[in-house]
Amino acid sequence: MGKKKTEKYRDLVEAATGVSSLWLEFRKCLRRAFTPGEVPVEEEQKFLEIKSNLARLQRVLSQNLPEGFKYGSKRIAQIMSQAVSIGTVQDLPANDKMTLYNRWHDCYISLQNLVGILDVLNDGYPVRFETVHAKSDNLKERLGAVSTTKKKDQKSLVVGVVVVAAIVVAFVLKSRGVF
């Protein structure tokens, strides 16, 4: 039998869903930067509005999230600050554009994690926040952090290393055109 649904986190779920939605709109603008040609003023204006709304909703989330919960808001802010406009992203070298786009994807995964966890909390189930922290981009840092945890948490290290290895292999295969 499931727990009784609460409304305590409803506003946070809505805000996180809104950020996730806007983050998808942000991606559409990033993808526009991969096409040649001048960007219309209307598209640039829409992009700026998306960035403004994202910043506002992120502020709401950051101020109201349970203590100890992080989802990568700094990484999202960094990407938004690098993408000043569609035109500036369009002028970046191809490798820099791809790096920006890949970082966008990492943040999207974190946002989906955020929405899911808040939904679980809203359903009344407990969540251990020490397992929810945003993952570091530094594998060495992750491994060092895990070495100080209890033995039962070492299973998550193995899973994490396997997942990271799978992602690296997929990235290499994709870059070689295997799939």
* Domain residue ranges in the chain: 10-134, 135-179
Which of residues 179 and 132 earns the better pLDDT score? 179
User: Residues 23-31: what's their mean pLDDT?
Assistant: 94
pLDDT greater at residue 136 or residue 16 = 16
pLDDT for 4 equals: 55
- Choose among 100, 115, 134, 132: nearest CA to 20: 115
Q: Which residue has the tokens 């700094």?
A: 74
Coil, helix or strand for 104? helix
pLDDT greater at residue 3 or residue 172 = 172
Residue 1 has pLDDT above 70, yes or no: no
Each residue's pLDDT tens digit, 39-94: 999 999 999 999 999 999 999 888 888 777 788 889 999 999 999 999 999 999 99
Q: Name the more confident of 41 and 174.
A: 41
Q: Nearest 10 degrees: CA dihedral of 31, 136, 166, 173?
A: 40
Tens digit of pLDDT for each residue in 110-160? 999 989 888 888 888 887 765 444 454 555 555 555 445 555 556 667 777
